Amino acid sequence: MSKEKKLVSIIVPAFNEEASLRPFHEAMSQVTDGLPQYDFELLFINDGSTDKTQAILKELAEEDKRVAFVTLSRNFGKEAAMLAGFDHARGHCAVVMDADLQHPPHVIVEMLEQWEQGFEDVYARRRTRGKEGWLRRRLTMLFYRILARSSRYEVLQNVGDFRLLDRKCINALRELRETERYTKGLYSWIGFRKKEILFDQEERRYGKSHWSLLQLSGLAIEGLVSFSKAPLRIATVIGLLTGLGAFIYLIYTFIKALAYGDPVAGYPTLICVMLFLGSVQLICLGIIGEYLGRVFTESKHRPNYLVEEYQPMKG
């Protein structure tokens, strides 16, 4: 590695991506060959894959001295895998991208241009989302709107993990060691000079997505709870409104009893009110439980991931 050139790390989380790794490496090589003014580190994070991902990474490391990989002891999830990438990246900057080629490698050229102009977080906003299902698309946009209105920090809409981060940003993200991570929110939290570029998301060419609608829903809940106290405030407001409604109904019942007597009636109404109040209580307890569960997890101070094998680049 020449001393004059800046080192750019490409962080690629990979879980069961045996079909994508070689095409991805070829596509990246075509881009990096056109950027001789930089040195590159292709850092793959094997997130506990059960297919041939590990074997292929070893082959690529033998063939290309720029290839490095970190193998985690099990599947810790993409959030932990990205943190492992930040911890092991050696570059002056790093580009986070997926191995399935939905993130076009040629966009890195524009990212580097903006980085050279002084921007420290160059994020790629999707111009199109590909052949994404209607329901999934609508739910995703709804989540971003809710999070934007409930969070104190600006969480960018329609922006994923595809971005270039300056070493300042990488070091800042390495300091944030919470177990319950929502990295898209952390990008906003750390600040620094940001620049948007647009790209067209490609279709997944190899393998299949590992994100189900249920997993995406869990990630959405994680984002809301991690970066907003709004659910707790909503629970408080619901409690206040319910209490106010109960008080008004109490006054109404008292006046009605004074004016017309109190015959034995209203059993259906009583049942409905009890069920409604019980449901409100369970919802509020569930919201509190989400926050309490995260406090419990963070209090253990367990590491975000465990490394089984690390092979740095040979260049």
pLDDT in tens, the chain (315 residues): 445 788 999 999 988 888 888 998 988 898 988 888 899 999 999 988 888 888 999 989 888 899 899 999 888 888 889 899 999 999 999 999 888 888 888 889 989 989 999 899 898 888 765 555 555 566 556 655 655 565 566 666 667 788 899 999 999 999 888 887 777 778 888 888 888 888 877 766 655 555 455 555 555 556 566 666 666 667 667 777 776 776 676 676 667 666 665 555 565 566 666 767 776 777 777 777 777 777 777 777 888 889 888 988 876
Q: Which DSSP category does 155 fall into?
A: P
Query: How many other β-carbons are positioned within 10 Å of the β-carbon of residue 106?
Result: 11
Rg of the chain over CA atoms, in angstroms?
A: 25
Backbone angles phi, psi at 195, to 5 degrees: -145, 135
Residue 140 pLDDT: 59
Cβ–Cβ < 8 Å for 121, 192: yes
Residues 271, 275, 281: CA angle, nearest 5 degrees: 145
The amino acid at residue 292 is L
Q: What is the pLDDT of residue 9?
A: 93
Q: List % helix, strand, coil for the chain (3-state, nearest 5).
A: 50, 20, 30
> Which single residue is written with the structure tokens 């990438």?
85
In this prediction, residue 2 carries a pLDDT of 46
Beta-bridge partners for 110: none
pLDDT at residue 293 in the model: 72
Q: What is the pLDDT of residue 283?
A: 72
